[in-house]
């Protein structure tokens, strides 16, 4: 039985627990309950319940994993999961000293977590939970169990912990990025005039899946339309196409955008994409450990302001990893609302930034590049560098 194995050593903990302790202390959290699949995966060193990979509903309740981490006491950490996770646990036991997988729903899982916290004797005056990722019934039960305590949002703490990627995480992000580009190139080459956006999207799903990725999405345009949803719109002769796709490799998202065309791009289209390329490169130029996050935006927007297309252009930089738009947070005015916490602080080695420049031209259509950039001590690395120009469609058709 592995329900109560011997205590794990700190060396076996797959994340920087002392860093987590510092963030918990700064945010006033005594004990942390992680309940999102991405944060449980991170804290358990890669575990993700295969049965619930892309669904949560089960019977009259839902899947709810809970990892309990008391500040400064990893020897009293615990994981409570679904009964089907025992098969994975038998193959790869978790690091937590207590690991019990016999739950079926949200309330029985949270009851086990509450019982563990009480029996462990850890301080639990201020309990950190992922308010966006804990169901109402479980949160209510937790609050009732610790009526004299305070429930606090732990999203910020966990985001900061994940903001600096390990070599293993970076390797997964690189694989994801490169395979997304490879998939795009294959799909563009095999489709001639007459294919629909829906057909191209489905082909991309198959290509990404065949390369070991989990297909997440494809934002796609064709011709002069700015509509980015898959549809029966035909990609015709001479039309441009933007393909912006996320492919997931073991939880880590490769998120890139590239351009294609049926035929040859005219001088204006070449000029548009070249302009976007220059903005992308300008935004990357200052990226380096120790540089203030705001410099990425300052460089990108300064070059964008010089473009003849600037009235229809937009530059965006955001963090990438297990979650799209995770830390670093570089802007408070992007499409996803959050503060610009990292704009006012130096970038760290291992942070990952997606930089994207979009031209929504009212006559020529949607032209965009998006790249994944990793902060290093000496500068930056680009993951998925290829296919940056006008990719000719139908060359393999």
Tens digits of residue pLDDT in 157-197: 999 999 999 999 999 999 999 999 999 999 999 999 999 99
Report in angstroms the alpha-carbon separations of 108 from 39, 64, 80, 135.
20, 9, 10, 13
Q: Do residues 123 and 24 make contact, with C-beta atoms less than 8 angstroms apart?
A: no
Note the pLDDT tens digit of each residue in 7-43.
Answer: 444 448 999 999 999 999 999 999 999 999 999 999 9
Q: What does the domain layout of the chain look like in residue ranges? A: 10-162, 167-392
Strand pairing partners for 80? 66, 100
| DSSP string over 4-33 | SPPPPPGGG-SS-HHHHHHHHHHTT-SEEE
CATH topology assigned to domain 167-392: Creatine Amidinohydrolase (3.90.230)
State residue 211's pLDDT score. 98
In total, the chain counts a number of residues equal to 397
State residue 397's pLDDT score. 60
Q: In the structure encoding, which two tokens stand for residue 64, read together? A: 């709810």
Range 44-60 average pLDDT: 94
Range 133-142 average pLDDT: 98
Nearest to 176 by CA among 366, 24, 322: 322
Q: Which residues of 362-380 are buried (b: 16+ CB within 10 A; e: fewer)?
A: eebbbbbbbbbbbbbeeeb
Note the pLDDT tens digit of each residue in 309-353.
Answer: 999 999 999 999 999 999 999 999 999 999 999 999 999 999 999
pTM higher than 0.85? yes
* Cα 183 to Cα 259: distance, rounded to the nearest angstrom: 13
Report in angstroms the alpha-carbon separations of 237 from 125, 153, 223, 234, 262.
65, 52, 9, 10, 5
Strand order, beta sheet including 98-103 = 98-103, 78-82, 66-70, 31-34, 126-129, 150-153
10-162 CATH, one of 3.40.350.10, 3.20.20.140, 3.30.1020.10, 3.40.50.720:
3.40.350.10
């Amino acid at each position: 039985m592995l329900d109560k194995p011997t205590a794990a050593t700190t060396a076996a903990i797959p994340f920087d627990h002392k860093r987590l302790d510092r963030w918990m202390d700064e945010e006033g959290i005594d004990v942390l309950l992680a309940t999102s699949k991405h944060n449980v995966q991170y804290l358990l060193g890669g575990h993700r319940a295969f049965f619930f990979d892309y669904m949560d509903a089960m019977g009259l309740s839902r899947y709810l994993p809970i990892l309990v981490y008391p500040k400064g006491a990893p020897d009293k950490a615990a994981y409570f999961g679904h009964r089907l996770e025992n098969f994975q646990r038998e193959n790869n036991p978790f690091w937590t000293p207590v690991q019990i997988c016999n739950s079926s729903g949200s309330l029985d899982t949270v009851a086990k977590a509450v019982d563990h916290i009480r029996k462990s004797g850890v301080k639990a005056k201020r309990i950190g939970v992922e308010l966006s990722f804990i169901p109402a019934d479980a949160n209510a039960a937790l609050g009732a169990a610790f009526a004299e305590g305070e429930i606090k949002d732990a999203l910020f703490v966990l985001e900061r912990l994940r903001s600096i990627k390990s070599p293993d995480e970076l390797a997964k992000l690189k694989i994801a990025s490169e395979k997304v580009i490879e998939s795009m190139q294959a799909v563009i080459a095999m489709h001639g005039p007459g294919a629909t956006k829906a057909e191209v999207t489905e082909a991309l799903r198959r290509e990404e899946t065949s390369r070991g990725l989990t297909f997440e999405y494809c934002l796609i345009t064709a011709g002069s339309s700015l509509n980015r949803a898959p549809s029966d719109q035909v990609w015709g002769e001479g039309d441009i196409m933007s393909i912006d796709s996320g492919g997931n490799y073991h939880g880590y998202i490769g998120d890139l955008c590239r351009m294609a065309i049926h035929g040859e791009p005219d001088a204006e289209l070449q000029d548009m994409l070249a302009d976007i390329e220059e903005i992308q490169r300008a935004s990357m130029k200052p990226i380096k450990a120790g540089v203030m996050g705001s410099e990425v935006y300052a460089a990108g927007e300064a070059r964008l302001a010089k473009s003849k297309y600037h009235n229809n252009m937009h530059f965006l930089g955001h963090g990438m990893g297990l979650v799209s738009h995770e830390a670093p947070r570089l802007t408070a005015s992007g499409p996803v609302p959050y503060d610009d916490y990292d704009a006012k602080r130096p970038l760290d080695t291992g942070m990952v930034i997606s930089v994207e420049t979009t031209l929504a031209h009212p006559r020529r259509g949607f032209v965009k590049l998006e790249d994944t950039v990793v902060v290093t001590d000496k500068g930056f690395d680009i993951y998925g560098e290829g296919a940056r120009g006008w990719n000719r469609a139908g060359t393999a058709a």
